[in-house]
Amino acid sequence: MNELFNESEQLVYDICKRSFLCLWSYPNPLGKDGKELCDTLVVCKPDIIIFSVKDIGLTDSGDVSIDWKRWRKRAIDASAKQIYGAERWLDGASHVIRSDGSAGIELPHREVRRVHRVAIALGDQGKASIRFGDFGKGFVHVFDKTSLETIMGELDTIEDFVAYLSAKEALYLSGRTTLFQGGEEDLLALYLYNGCQFPEKYDLHIIDDNLWDGFKDNDHYKARKAADSISYVWDRLVESLSSDILHGNLEFGPELNDSEIAVCTMARESRFGRRILGKSFMEFYDLSRQKEVRSRMALGYSGVIYVFLAMPHGEDRKYRIAELSGRCLVARGLHKERSTVVGLATERYEEGKGFSFDLVHMHMPQWTDDMQKQMDYLQKEFGYFAKPRLTKVHEDEYPQVMKEN
């Protein structure tokens, strides 16, 4: 265990790490007067997630109602108070302050930031009922150990996780009544079954205690999990690039450089988006090793354009980066409805040889006449995507299941 964390904080940080939140996670950041702000702060523009962890044992006084009331006050109400205080301090701050007092990443502008409040209540051994909602200054999600591991195990990307938090908060604020006979994982099952949203045509939701078990046993769910296996190619790319760029220190500095922004963009892809991109990258890499293709464009589910480039070993990397940048510009011009391009270059596979990566990030909200002239020159002189071959593919998030007679 990391000596900086206690056991409960280590639990949350480990789960964040598995869900890629570690890219933007700050354990025990500082706030007012140099005091601890919260247990873990996640900043991934435009989202901010404030985690507060309380590991409080459930007493046994002989009166269950009194025991629960005392536990909630110390485990949940105290977390909500800490979260509200952290949010209030962040409202006047420009950067995260790490636990050692150094400046972390810049905070999203107040006009666009989305704050998610998460209390982790441990120590009840599954005996106390969990209460979430507005504790006076905004909606607070409350998870116990089981629900936290289930939610973040299933929604194991930042994009999928914050989408669920936002949908759950919107459900609460809509005024529709939700009656719980089950747990948070059963609410998750309803959300996933309904296409990653909650049904809007009902004024009352009754969350039974067998929804999650039934959903996991469904053949369509199993087919989706099997289809998602290729998506972890994308995860491994993000892990490798993060290690190369940050040398094992996954807390960004005050300002992000282009490579870090590119990795952030890649890590913000949803699990379904990663499935599509993972397939595209592996198909490209297999073709590149056969010398059938040098570069490929892939249109991400998120709206980002990705450009892959593979060159022989021994090529000067400055030329590789120059070609990758040129191809990214052309890709942006070929898809004027999209404004962001991420380029990834590496060597063609050769047995016994290593590999390296180069990254390019371009964000061009406007396409100008000068950009068009550059694009025309690059296509004419170097042939960058001069005659691109378009391949359309259809992908169902939940593949059809063939039944045997």
pLDDT at 405: 47
- The CA dihedral of 243, 245, 246, 248, to the nearest 10 degrees, is 20
181 SS3 class = coil
Query: Could you tell me which of 262, 249, 51, 28 has the C-alpha nearest to residue 140?
Result: 51
Q: How far is CA 143 from CA 53, 140, 241, 348, in A?
A: 10, 10, 32, 46
**Per-domain boundaries in the chain:** 7-173, 229-382
pTM of the full structure: 0.89
Structure-block tokens of residue 244: 């190369």
**Exposed / middle / buried, residue 249 (Cβ in 10 Å: 0-12, 13-18, 19+):** exposed
Residue 248: per-residue pLDDT: 46
Predicted confidence at residue 246, as pLDDT, reads 60
Instruction: Identify the segments of the chain with pLDDT beneath 70.
Output: 1-5, 20-21, 124-130, 181, 245-253, 401-405
| Cβ-count burial 4-13 (b if 16+ within 10 Å, e if not) | ebeebbbbbb
pLDDT number for residue 166? 95
84 Ramachandran zone, left/alpha/beta (phi>0; psi -120 to 50): alpha
Taking only the tens place, the pLDDT of each residue in 78-93 is 999 999 999 999 999 9
How many whole angstroms separate alpha carbon 347 and alpha carbon 120?
Answer: 44
Q: Which residue has the tokens 């936002």?
A: 166
How far apart (Å, rounded) are the C-alpha atoms in residues 63 and 180? 23
Q: What is the pLDDT of residue 128?
A: 56
Contact, 265 vs 342, CB < 8 A? yes
